[in-house]
Amino acid sequence: MELFALFISLLLINNVVLSKFLAVCPLLGVSKNSKNALSMGIAVTFVIFVAAVITWLLYYYVLVPLNIAYMDLITFILVIASLVQFVEMFLKKTSPAIYKAMGVYLPLITTNCAVLGVALDNITAGYNFVEAMVAGLAVPLGFTLVIYIFATIRERLELATTPEGFKGVPIALITAAIMACAINGLTGLV
């Protein structure tokens, strides 16, 4: 039950985008099309989950025993960059259309603060291995959920009559703010 509460908390209540305001750049950049948003969410989910597992193992089985825990940040960044390169090569080979549609945002997963944030949160929160895996799955699924819902809303907003001054990014930011307010209403449930 405790793992389920952690999962729901990180997925919805403490959502990485709407509560912690991490990964806002890909939220605004890739969410113009729901298919691209879902593809980005899947790529980020893979990277965050694998990075969470690898960085937790490296921290507790390499860095701490060697008394070089202060190297965690640089180690985590190297792991994340390697994983993103792997995802980029995989998508380029298997799905060139998605690779092209994601454009510059795919290599920017390396600098997506949510990826590094999960790796660091797993360490600072003192999660055990299973909790780190749950966090590594719940956080990117929450990101994917938000970016997909946001993309479908933006697709509908493109068809709506919007005042000229609010078209594009301004209405997107207002929509994100309303979504954040809605999620904030769940605070205290878990």
Judged on CB neighbours under 10 Å (0-12, 13-18, 19+), 2 is exposed
pLDDT at position 64 is 97
pLDDT at position 1 is 67
Please say whether the beta carbons of 106 and 87 come within 8 A. Answer: yes
pLDDT at position 190 is 65
Please say whether the beta carbons of 130 and 52 come within 8 A. Answer: no
d(CA 80, CA 1) in angstroms, rounded, equals 30
Residues 6+ positions from 22 with CB-CB distance below 8 Å: 16, 112, 113, 114, 117
pLDDT at position 8 is 93
Q: Give residue limits of the domains in the chain.
A: 9-184
- pLDDT tens, position by position, for the chain (190 residues)? 699 999 999 999 999 999 888 888 888 888 888 988 898 898 889 899 999 999 999 999 999 999 999 999 999 999 999 998 988 898 889 988 878 877 777 787 888 889 999 999 999 999 999 999 999 999 999 999 999 999 999 999 888 888 988 888 899 889 999 999 988 887 777 6
Degrees (nearest 5) of the Cα angle 19, 144, 53? 85
DSSP 15: -
Nearest to 45 by CA among 125, 131, 133, 104: 133
